[in-house]
Structure 1
Amino acid sequence: MQTPRRTPVAIAALAACSVLVLSACGGSGDTATPAAGGPVDLKVNLFGTFGYQELGLFEEYEKAHPGVTISYESTQDEDKYWPALQTRMASGAGVADVQGIEVSRIADVVANQPDQWTDLRDTPAADAIGRYIDWKEPAATTPDGAVLGLGTDIGPMGMCYRSDLLQQAGLPTDPTQLAAQMSTWDAYLALGETFKAKAPAGTAWADAAGGIYDAMTSQLAVKNYDKDGKLIFDSNPDLRSRFDTAAKAAQAGLTAKLEQFADPGWDQGFSSGSYATIACPSWMIGYIKGKAGDGGSGKWNITSLPGGAGGNWGGSYLAIPESSQHKTEAAELISWLTAPEQQARLFEKVGNFPSTKDGIAKVSGTTDPYFNNAPIGKIFSDSANAAPVQILGAQDGVIKNEVSQALLSVETAGVTMDAAWATAVNNVKNQAG
C-alpha cells in the first residue's frame, strides 16, 4: 500500500452537453460472444440495489457470452459491506472479480488503495472511460492517471412524499404547489409543523434527522474537506448550522426517529405511512417501490428538493480488485453493465440515474406511473444540473456515519444538540485524523 495521502476530488455540477455517439459496449445485442479463455465464473459482490439482478442483466449477459457464469452476492447495508471487503482484501481471500465502491469511499480508494485495484486503462474497459459526465471518472482517477472504477450512476435529489397523508392533513399534493410552499429548508420544517398539527395518527413529517442533514449538505460546495484536502468538518459553519437544523427538527417531533437502512421500522414506513416525506436521491425511488409494494402505487409522488439548489447523494463505481484472476472478462462485463443503454434501462426500472452523457439524454423525458406519472427524468436532470461543485475526502463515509449516529442520539435518547455534535466531532477526529 502506498503512503496515505488525502487527495480532494472536485465534483462539478452536471452541465448541459451534446450527446456523444458512443460505440463501446452498447446495447444487449443479439450476437453471442464466447468467453475467450474458456468457461469463466465471474464473482460480483455489490451492496444495496444496483438493479442488475432485478433487471435480469446478469442473465442477459450470460446468454450473450456462452461460457461466462456470474455469481452474484449483495449486502444490503453498505456500512457492513465496506468493512467486510477491507477485511477480505487484507486477508487475500474472498474478494470478488467485480466489487462495488460507493462514492463516499472512492476518494479513500484513490488516495490509499490504488495498488489494490486494477487500472482500467489496461483492460477492455479502457474505451468506456470517456463516456461520462465531466466529473464522474476524475473522482476515480489517481494523480498519475490510473482509473480505478467505472461509474454506475449519480444521485440527484428530489423530495418524495405521500400524497394521501398530505391530503389528510390539508396540505397541497400537487408537486408544483408543494414545492412553492417549501422552497427553503426553514419553510419545509414550518410546513412540517402544520402537518404535525393535523397529521394522521402515527405519522411524522420526515423519516430521520440524518436524512434531512444529508439532503441539506448535498447542496453545499464545501463540506468535510477544503480544496487542499484538509479536514474541516469541525470548523465548517455550514455543516454545524445544518446539523442544528436537523437536530431541531428531531426535537420538535417532526421526525419518525428511524435510522435509515438499518431500522426495520424505516423500511416498513414506506408502506405503513409512518412518515410523509423523505429526501430521495433518484436511486431511492426503486427502493421505495420495493418496500411499499403495489399498495404504494399512486400514493407516492416527487417534487424538487428545498433549498433552491440541486444536490447529489450517492453514485457508485464498479471496480476490479488487483487480485482478480479474470481481469479481461471482468472488464468486459463492467463496461457493458455501465454502458448508456443499460444505464437508461436501469433508471426506468429502479431509478438509478445515468452517469454517462448519452444515458442522461436517453432518460430526460421519463415519467413514472408509480409516482403519479411524475416527470422523474426532468426532476432529476434539473437537480443534477443545479448541483454545486463538491469536494470528496477520504473519510467522507466515516463522517456521514458519525453524524447520523449523533442525530439519532438526539432523536431517540434526548441528547442535546451541542453534546451530540461534540461526540460526532470527537469520533471523527479519532477515526479520520
Structure 2
Amino acid sequence: MRSYRTTRRAAAIAVTAALAAGLLAGCASDDGDDSAKDTGGDSSGKTTLNVGLFGVFGYQEAGLYAEYEKLHPNIKIKQTTVERNENYYPALLTHLSAGSGLSDIQGIEIANIAEITSTQADKFMDLSKVEGASKDNFFPWKAAQGSTKDGKLIGLGTDIGPMALCYRKDLFEAAGLPTDRDKVAELWKGDWKKWVDAGNQYKAKAPKGTAWTDGAAGVFNAAISSSATRYVDDSGNYIYKDNPDVRAAFDLAADAAANGLTAKTGEPFTEPWNQAIANGKFATISCPAWMLGTLKDKGGDKAKGKWDIAVPPKGGNWGGSFLGVPEAGKNKEEAAKLAAWLTAPEQQAKLFAKQGSFPSSPQAAAMPEIKTAKNDYFPEVPYGEIFSATAADIPVQVIGAKDQTVQENFVRSGLLLVEQGKQDKDGAWDAAIKAIDNALDQ
C-alpha cells in the first residue's frame, strides 16, 4: 500500500509517543475487561483477534471482518489503525524487540518488507504451512518479497499497486483539455515528461486556485515506480547516487515543482494533502488501485463522479502491503487462519470490488469480476479493465531494506526544498544525497 508519509513534527512526536505507550497493543478487548486483555477474549467468551494496520487496507470497509465473524461465531475482530506508516512502523519495531504490545496480525508496508524478512523473521510465524496460505496464491515476485532466503513465508500479500492516472473531468474541461479517458491518455502516452508537458497546458487555463498535480513527492514516486531499477541492485548494493532512472525521476519532479505545477501539498497522506483532495485543488494524481479508496474517503460526496481514470505513461507499481502474525501474539493459530482468509483469492476479489485494492493473487486477478468491476464513486469507469491492463506492465523491482529511508530523504531533504523555493534542482539533489548518505552511514 502506502509509503514515505510525514506530518508536522509536533504531531509526529505525539503520535510516536502514544504508539510507544501501546497504541499498537493487540491484546485489549473492547470493553476494557482486564481478564479479556490477558486471554485475548471478551466477556462473551469469544476470542478477540486484534489487527494492527496503517492507512486504509479496506477489510472493515468492505465488510470482510463481519463476514468472517459470521462464519466463525467464536471470533471477534478488532482493528487498530495508524494513518501513516512512518508512525506505525517504528512502533512496530519497538514492540517486536520487546516481544509485547503486538496485535495478533500486523500489517507490513512493502517498503519495509525486506527489512522485516532479513532482520525480524524470527519474530513472525512461518505461514507457508497454514491452510489457505500457499505461496501459489500470490504472484511469484510478491510471494518472494514476503519470504526469507530460506523459504519462510512471513508476509501474506494483501494487494499490489498497479498505477494509472486519476484526473478530475470538471477541471480538465474548464482548462480546455479533453475529458475522454482515451484522449486523455494520448496526452502523455509513453513518457512521464509528457504528463508534465500536459500540466503546462493545464496551467495556462487552469481554474483559479488549482494546480496540475498534488506535489513533487507524488511526481517523483510515479516516475520511479515505473523503473525496473531503483535504489539497490540485485546484489543489494546501493545505486541511488548513480542510477540514471533515479536522477531522471528527481529532475522531473523538481521541474514540475519549480514551474508551479504542484499544489504544494507536501507528502501524501498529510493533512494538507487530504484537504487538497477534499477541496479539489489539483487535477491529476498518480493513482495506484488502492488510491481509489483514498480519493473516495477524502473527497466525499462532493467529488463523487468527478474523477476519471486513464492509462499512465508507463506501467508501474506503488505500494502493496502484507499481513504477518507475530510469534509473541496470544492467538497465533486463529490469527494465522484469519490472515490466510483475508488474503485468499476470493477475498482479494471482493476487496477490489469494494475498495479498488488490486489483487496480489493471480487467481483473483484472472477472475472475470475483476475486469468488469464497477464502483459507484467512479461511475462508468472500467477501472477493473484499466488496472488489469496496467498490472501486466509492472516491472519487477528489487526492494532494499532501507528503500523507505532513501525515498523519504529524496523527498524531505530534496524535493520539498524545491517546492518551497529554498533550493534549485541541483542543490536539492546534493542535499538529498547527503542526507541519504548520513542516514545509511555511507
Same topology, TM > 0.5: yes
* Correspondence for 2:310: 303
Written as runs of structure 1 = structure 2, the 5 A alignment for 1:270-289 is 270-289=277-296
TM-superposed deviation, 1:262 = 4.2
* Correspondence for 2:182: 176
TM-superposed deviation, 1:204 = 0.3
* Alignment equivalent of 1:113, drawn from 104, 117, 120: 120
Written as runs of structure 1 = structure 2, the 5 A alignment for 1:132-281 is 132-183=138-189, 184-281=191-288
Q: Is the counterpart of residue 79 in structure 1 residue 86 in structure 2?
A: yes
Q: Is the counterpart of residue 415 in structure 1 residue 420 in structure 2?
A: no
Q: Determine helix, strand or coil for the equivalent of 1:224.
A: coil
Structure 1 Cα separation of the partners of residues 336 and 244 of structure 2: 43
Q: Does the aligned pair in 2 maintain the 1:125–1:334 contact within 8 Å?
A: no
TM-superposed deviation, 1:345 = 1.2
* Correspondence for 2:323: 318
**CA deviations over 1:391-423 (Å, ceiling 9, x no partner):** 111011111211221211210243122222122
Structure 2 Cα separation of the partners of residues 360 and 385 of structure 1: 10
Structure 1 Cα separation of the partners of residues 303 and 269 of structure 2: 21
Written as runs of structure 1 = structure 2, the 5 A alignment for 1:25-40 is 39-40=46-47
* Alignment equivalent of 1:64, drawn from 60, 63, 71: 71
Q: Determine helix, strand or coil for the equivalent of 2:420.
A: helix
Letter in 1 for 2:151: G
Letter in 1 for 2:75: V
Structure 2 Cα separation of the partners of residues 357 and 327 of structure 1: 27
Letter in 2 for 1:417: K
Q: Is the counterpart of residue 386 in structure 1 residue 388 in structure 2?
A: no
Q: TM-score, normalised by structure 1?
A: 0.88
Q: TM-score, normalised by structure 2?
A: 0.86
TM-superposed deviation, 1:142 = 1.0
> In terms of mean alpha carbon deviation, does 225-234 or 418-427 score higher?
418-427
TM-superposed deviation, 1:268 = 1.8
Structure 1 Cα separation of the partners of residues 132 and 329 of structure 2: 15
Q: Determine helix, strand or coil for the equivalent of 1:121.
A: coil
Q: Is the counterpart of residue 373 in structure 1 residue 380 in structure 2?
A: yes
TM-superposed deviation, 1:109 = 0.9
Q: Percent identity?
A: 44
Q: Is the counterpart of residue 430 in structure 1 residue 441 in structure 2?
A: no
* Correspondence for 2:406: 399
Q: Is the counterpart of residue 294 in structure 1 residue 313 in structure 2?
A: no
Letter in 1 for 2:214: D
Q: Is the counterpart of residue 103 in structure 1 residue 110 in structure 2?
A: yes
Structure 1 Cα separation of the partners of residues 283 and 308 of structure 2: 11
Q: 1:150 to 1:263 in 2, by over 3 A?
A: closer
TM-superposed deviation, 1:384 = 0.9
* Correspondence for 1:9: none
Q: Does the aligned pair in 1 maintain the 2:106–2:325 contact within 8 Å?
A: yes
**CA deviations over 1:121-147 (Å, ceiling 9, x no partner):** 344454x33211221111111111111
**CA deviations over 1:301-338 (Å, ceiling 9, x no partner):** 000112xx311000010001121122110110011111
Q: Determine helix, strand or coil for the equivalent of 1:370.
A: coil
**CA deviations over 1:242-279 (Å, ceiling 9, x no partner):** 10111010000000011233432211222312110000
Q: 1:393 to 1:71 in 2, by over 3 A?
A: same
Structure 2 Cα separation of the partners of residues 371 and 320 of structure 1: 35
Q: Is the counterpart of residue 338 in structure 1 residue 346 in structure 2?
A: no
**CA deviations over 1:16-49 (Å, ceiling 9, x no partner):** xxxxxxxxxxxxxxxxxxx9xx742211100111
Structure 1 Cα separation of the partners of residues 210 and 246 of structure 2: 28
TM-superposed deviation, 1:424 = 1.7
* Correspondence for 1:19: none
Higher RCO (C-alpha 8 Å, min separation 6): 1
Letter in 2 for 1:331: A
Q: Determine helix, strand or coil for the equivalent of 2:142.
A: coil
Q: Does the aligned pair in 1 maintain the 2:354–2:375 contact within 8 Å?
A: no
* Correspondence for 1:129: 135
Consecutive unaligned residues in structure 2, runs of 5 or more: 1-40
Q: Determine helix, strand or coil for the equivalent of 2:149.
A: coil
Q: Is the counterpart of residue 91 in structure 1 residue 94 in structure 2?
A: no
Consecutive unaligned residues in structure 1, runs of 5 or more: 1-34
Letter in 2 for 1:145: G
Structure 1 Cα separation of the partners of residues 406 and 114 of structure 2: 13
**CA deviations over 1:372-395 (Å, ceiling 9, x no partner):** 411111111111101112111101
